[in-house]
Amino acid sequence: MTALTLGVVLIAFMLVQWIHYCGVSKTFVEYQVEREASPQDNSQFNQLADSLASAYGVGGWSSVELMLRQAAIPAAVVDLEGLVRCSSAEDLAGARAEREGLQWTLRSHMASDTAIVTEVELLLTTNALPLSHQGAVFAHLLALPEGPSEQAGRQFADEVWRSTLTGLALILLGTGLVTWLLMRRALSPIDQLTTAVAGLAAGVSHRPIKPHRASEFRVLFDTYNRAVQTLTENASIRRRLVADIAHELRTPLTNLGMQMEALGEGMVAADCAFVGQMRAELAVLERLVSDFQQLAQSDSGQLKADLQPIDLDQLIQETLVPLAERHAADLETSIPPKLWVQADPERMRQVFGNLLENAKRHRDQGLRIRVLGYRKGERISLHLSDNGPGVAPEDQPHIFERLYRGEKSRNRRLGGAGLGLAIVRALLGAMDASIRYDEKHAHGAAFVIEFKAVPASGEGFAAPSSQFPS
C-alpha cells in the first residue's frame, strides 16, 4: 500500500515537472527574444545602409540580398509594404514588419528543441535607417539583435530541473516517512489482531483484545471477542463433557466389575437375578454408546431421517399412544383432522420415548400427558405438557445441552445421563423440525414441536389461547 501511494505521487509529480520543464524553456526563449532585441546604432550599421542602397541601384533586390548575407552585421531589409525582402537570419524570410512610432515589430515563426514557438515578436525600440535610391526611400534597414540562445534556454531549464529533482527527492522522502507512520498507525490494530489470532491458533490463550475506537475495527474486534468467548465456553463445555462421559461410563463399568469380582470369589451365584443385573448394566452402556453415536452423526450431518407425509393424529396414535401405555401415563390428545406433516415415524417414536422417560423420571405416579396440535402459518405445531414439577427458570436455557441435568448431584436419584433432550433436538433437526421449551406454561413441563407442513394438508385451527390445566 505504501509503495502504491509513493508510485502514484511520483508519477503525478514527474508529469507536472515535465510540463513545467517545457514551459520554462519556452518562457526563457521568449524572454530572451523580448528583452534582448535591440538595434545596433553605430558607424558600421550606417556604412551597411549606404552599401545596400548602392547595391540596389546596381543590381536591385538580388544585389541587396547578396550583400546583406555577406555582411557581418545581423540585419533585415523591409520594403515599404512591411515585408522582409531579405535578412541575415533565414528564419525571418517572409516575416512581416509593423511600425508604431519608434517601435518596430517583426513577427516570424521559430522553433526550439524544448518547445515549438508558433510566433515570435521581435520588438525594436529605435528608428530604422531608410534606404534611398535616386532620392526616394525604397526600404528600411533594421538591425537585428543576436538570436535567441536555445542553449542558454536549455541550460536554464536544466538548472530548474536539478532544483526540481532535489525538491522531488525531499518530497518523496517526507511523503514516504509520513505514509509509513500513518500506515503503521492505521494498521496497528490489524497487527494486534493477527498476533491474537496466531496465539489463538497455537492454543496459547483465549484472551479478548481491547476494542478499537475506529468503527470498522470495532466491529472486527467485537467479532473476534465473541469468537474467543465462544471458544472459551466450548472449551469449558468440552472439559465438562469429557468428565461427564467418563463418569457415566464409569458407573456401569464399576458395577459390572464388582459383580464379576463377586462372582469370581464365589460371593454370589450365577442365577437369573445376577444375570439380570449384569444385563441391566450392559443395557445402560449400550444406551450411552447409542446416544453418543447419534449425537456424533448429528454433528457430522450423517443423521438421516426417512421423511414421509403423515397425518399428525395417525402419527400420535402409532407412536405416542403405545409409549404412554407402557409408562402407565394418562394421555389426552386433541389433534384436528387433516394436519399433515413431514416426519419419520421411527425417529418420532424415539423422540416421544425420550420425552416420556424424562417426564416419568420426575413424576413416577399419576403422570398425565396432554397433547394439542394446531397449524400456525407454514408450520404445524405439537404442544406436549405434563403435570410434573416443571423446569426451574435458571435451567430452562440449558435443558437441550448435552449431559446437562437440573440435578447437579450425582446420586442418580432421578437417573439419566442428560442426553435425552439433546438427542430429541438432533432427531427433530434431521426431520427439518424444531423443539423449544414453553416457558409460559404455568404447571409442569411443556414442549412445542414444530413440523414442516405438507402443502396439501388441511387448514387445522388456531393456536391455543389458554394454558393446559394442571
Residue 399 in domain: yes
324 in the same domain as 274: no
Q: Are residues 239 and 270 in the same domain?
A: yes
Say yes or no: 313 and 447 in one domain.
yes
| The domain boundary residue, chosen from 87, 114, 144 | 144
Question: Given this model, what pLDDT does residue 109 score?
Answer: 63
**Residues 141-173: pLDDT tens digits?**
888 766 555 666 677 667 767 777 777 777 778
Asked whether residue 440 falls in the same domain as residue 347, the answer is yes
HSE-CB at 350 with a 13 A cutoff on CA atoms is 21
Strand partners, 452: 379
Distance of alpha carbon 266 from alpha carbon 437, whole angstroms: 51
Asked if the structure places residue 463 within a domain, the reply is no
- Give yes or no for a contact between 438 and 466, defined as CB atoms under 8 angstroms apart: no
Least confident piece of the model among 66-70, 92-96, 212-216, 264-268: 212-216
Q: Is residue 21 part of a domain?
A: no
For residues 129 and 222, state if they share a domain: no
pLDDT grade for 467, boundaries at 50, 70 and 90: very low
In 3D space, the residue among 254, 198, 200, 267 whose CA is nearest the CA of residue 229 turns out to be: 200
Surface-to-core class of residue 123, CB atoms within 10 Å of its CB (0-12 exposed, 13-18 middle, 19+ buried): middle
Same structural domain, 269 and 376: no
Measured CA angle at 402 (ends 401, 408), to 5 deg: 85
In a domain, 442, yes or no: yes
The verdict on residue 335 lying in a domain is: yes
Query: Per residue in 308-343, pLDDT tens?
Result: 999 999 999 999 999 999 888 999 999 998 899 989
Distance CA 259, CA 266 (A): 11
The residue with greater pLDDT, 90 or 417, is: 90
Q: Output the domain CATH number for residue 323.
A: 3.30.565.10
Q: Say whether both 315 and 273 belong to one domain.
A: no
Is 153 contained in some domain?
no
What is the number of structural domains in the chain?
3
- With b for 16 or more beta-carbon neighbours within 10 A and e for fewer, the 350-363 pattern comes to bbbbbbbebbbebb
Query: For residues 336 and 460, is the Cβ–Cβ distance under 8 A?
Result: yes
Q: Which residue has the higher pLDDT, 199 or 377?
A: 377
pTM check: above 0.85: no
Q: Is 172 exposed, middle or buried (0-12, 13-18, 19+ CB in 10 A)?
A: middle
Which domain does 262 fall in, by range?
215-299
Instruction: State whether 43 and 70 are in the same domain.
Output: yes
312 in the same domain as 445: yes
Q: Are residues 319 and 445 in the same domain?
A: yes
Which range scores top for mean pLDDT: 210-224, 245-259, 390-404? 390-404
> Where do runs of H (alpha helix) occur along 340-415?
345-362
More confident position, 211 or 360? 360
* Residue 36 pLDDT level (bands cut at 50, 70, 90): very low
Residues 417 and 436 in one domain: yes
For residue 410, count other CB atoms closer than 10 A to its CB. 11
Q: Which of 67-76, 117-126, 247-256, 268-277 has the highest mean pLDDT?
A: 67-76
Question: Is 429 domain-assigned?
Answer: yes
pLDDT tens, residue by residue, 441-466: 878 899 999 998 887 544 444 444 44
Digit-coded pLDDT (tens) for 84-141: 888 887 767 678 888 887 778 877 765 544 444 455 566 564 557 899 988 899 999 8
What is the mean predicted confidence (pLDDT) over 53-75?
A: 88
**3-state secondary structure at position 380:** strand
Digit-coded pLDDT (tens) for 39-57: 444 688 888 899 999 999 9
Same domain, 361 and 234: no
d(CA 276, CA 107): 127
Residue 97, strand partner residues: 106
| Domain assignment present for 1 | no
Mutual orientation of helices 215-264 and 272-299 as an angle, nearest 10°? 160
